[in-house]
Structure 1
Amino acid sequence: MKTLLLFLTFSAFCFAQNTLSYDDEKGSEKATLQDIKWLAGNWKGEAFSGTYEENWSKPFGGSMMFNFKLVVEDKIVFYELGHIVEKDGTLEYQIKHFDANLSGWEEKDESENFKFIKKVDNRMYFDNFTFEYISDNQVNIYAYFEDSKEEMVFNFKK
């Protein structure tokens, strides 16, 4: 029994996390929007007891813009608007949140900003977010929520 408990405890600590935290000392790898252009399209999925949709534009003007909407029981819960932008030879992911009445969560001139970390195979790692290409019709986005210390996966399908 002790061996099983030790194995389960060890396994829990060794579980591979899908998100990374940005390290100022290491900085960001070089990247362009061409590295993540596969994200463009209209996507849908389920989370938070509801259905979400997210629409990404193709790279244009140095950014890929997106909008997100979460609907639970036929009611808007919140929206997100943002982009991935080319900046200083790399990428940055920026988000602003709005409630159902389009009242902003962040201050007027502020957004949540997530620096790019690196690209590994079919994954693009940003600070606490990972975009994973599965196929032309499926993408996973992993998000780490610092408040709850939990990582969630959002499975998007076209």
Structure 2
Amino acid sequence: MKSIAIILMFSAGIVSGQQTMQLPEGQSSPKANLEEVSWIEGHWTGEAFGGIAEEIWSAPVGNSMMFVFRMVNDGKVSFYESGHIQQLDDSLILQLKHFDGNMKGWEEKDQTIDFKLVKVQPNKVYFEGLTMEKISGDQMNVWVLIEEEGHTEEILFAYKRVK
């Protein structure tokens, strides 16, 4: 499962166009605040990797929007993620940690997977290697750049809001 460690959420499909971005060398993240991405808040679910992916995001409070994620295959949890989008100085960063189905961490104790902010638009936020887009009030797409065995591909994850 660690081969999909960077995968965050949503039901999968290969993307032909380039949806993710990287910060140019030496460039800092742009100014942004949590209100600009507050549309991410909610309970989201979709199919992925032959199972069910579930993501729950909180409203912005205390300079962060926290989330939890679980991937369920064959009726059992494959892995969890916990993390946040944090207001860091005058910009944003998305950070997460992975856990197996028994809550044993994949990353070292003080290590996180970090996605620096690249760009914010009204219904789209670009972090390095991860893009989130509001399609409607009930749909959100996320594109994640995945590296596996020296090969890089961009994966589309599509989520629907749980009501």
Paired with 2:122 and 2:27, the residues of 1 have a C-alpha distance of 19
Per-residue CA distance 1:111-149 (angstroms, 9 max, x = gap): 101100001342100000001011111101110012340
- Give the structure with the higher percent helix: 1
Choose between structure 1 and 2 for higher RCO, CA contacts under 8 A separated by at least 6 residues: 2
TM-score normalized by structure 1? Answer: 0.87
Aligned 8 A contact 2:145 2:152 in 1: yes
Paired with 1:91 and 1:81, the residues of 2 have a C-alpha distance of 17
- Displacement of 1:150 in angstroms is 1.1
Instruction: List gaps (5 residues or longer) in structure 2.
Output: 1-15
Q: Does 2:154 align with 1:151?
A: yes
1:19 maps to which residue? 20
Number of equivalent positions: 144
1:9 maps to which residue? none
**Paired residues for 1:34-113 under 5 Å:** 34-113=35-114
Paired with 1:52 and 1:115, the residues of 2 have a C-alpha distance of 24
Paired with 1:33 and 1:115, the residues of 2 have a C-alpha distance of 14
Per-residue CA distance 1:1-50 (angstroms, 9 max, x = gap): xxxxxxxxxxxxxx530101232423211110001000000000011111
2:140 maps to which residue? 139
TM-score normalized by structure 2? Answer: 0.85
Percent identity at matched positions?
A: 44
